[in-house]
Structure 1
Amino acid sequence: MVQKLNTLVETASQTAGPYVHIGLMPSYCGNAGAYDREIGLSPIAEGCQGEIIEIRGQVIDGTGWALRDALIESWQADAAGRYPGQPGADDKVTGHCRFGADAESGEFTLRTVKPGRTPTRTGGWQAPHIALWIVARGINIGLQTRIYFEDEDNSTDPLLARIEQRPRVDTLIAAKTGPGQYRFDIRLQGDGETVFLDL
């Protein structure tokens, strides 16, 4: 007798956490040796051009708890605003990084080169920014956002200009905490919820 399936059940491969680290960053889960080296370990190589910066932060849930299993990917341009593969792009900048929150503190660190302004399709300019993709427990569809910098001119950026609730723009701005140092916390819910993008 053949039995028909009437419902489709979500499987482990369709669930973000805690599987994200096991599959995407195995050494973070104690599974070192799955890869020769973690994929996307750094967006830059020795000798890249531009200012080296460090961005620290946490992914914070609606209760104020820092997620310790968050995984983040970043994409960015080089210091001149060029992406890999574009003419004149810095070959020491891959533009991609994959990093996780610390298991104890929930703090993440992104060490990279500060990106330059990038052109829009309509002849304008985007302010220097880094695109982020975030997954963790309870996040079944990755979240997209961006990091902008408080010490840059963000006034003409077309994406920031489209955010109607002006106070929420601040949720996309990394605060400068020292020379080459920035703070950027990602809040999933509640007061100060980060602006997420539907891309």
Structure 2
Amino acid sequence: MARYRGPKAKIARRFNEPIFGPSKALSKKAYPPGQHGRGRRRKQSEYALQLMEKQKAKYTYGVLERQFANLFDKASRKEGVTGTVLLQLLETRLDNIVYRLGISPTRRGARQFVSHKHITVNGEVVNVPSFHVKVGDVVAVRERSKSLEKITDSLSARAGKRPAWLEFDAAQFAGKVIAVPQRDEILENIQEQLIVELYSK
């Protein structure tokens, strides 16, 4: 399945945020990438700001252009504030839930765990990272995968640092979605209104 495979530090510097996790590049080179990164840049247009916000959301959640457009279309047809619904749809992707539960330290790693059939939803193996997890669904580590060092290390590091809309049973290596995340519970630095304005043009 296609995904971004390019340099992660370059993307982090473009948005001046650790999109793929902690990055030393942000402190060593606190300016945008490219030959004009250090120079002055003219004030960005409204369209440029909107586009950048969309790209930031795509890289953050590991979603490609067509997938993102489909998600926005789905969000626009649902009840509620479109931007908030869009973020809720991104947050309830299976790979993101695996990351939020602490089974993987990164979304990229979570995507790999799902693709390699280490994760179950309600007892059934699911290997589709974009699978939409609903309230009440139980996401767990497959029995034979519970001894994987990467999983146990990640769970130890994330102990007690999970969002309130998720419930986690450490003994069973399983988490449950107990509610749809509200906007103030989604901590990613994304201005979703700019994305809505971009798609509304």
Q: Normalised by the size of structure 2, how large is the TM-score?
A: 0.30
The structure where helix makes up a greater share of residues is 2
Q: Larger relative contact order (C-alpha < 8 A, sep ≥ 6)?
A: 1
Normalising by the residue count of structure 1, what TM-score does the alignment of the two structures yield? 0.31
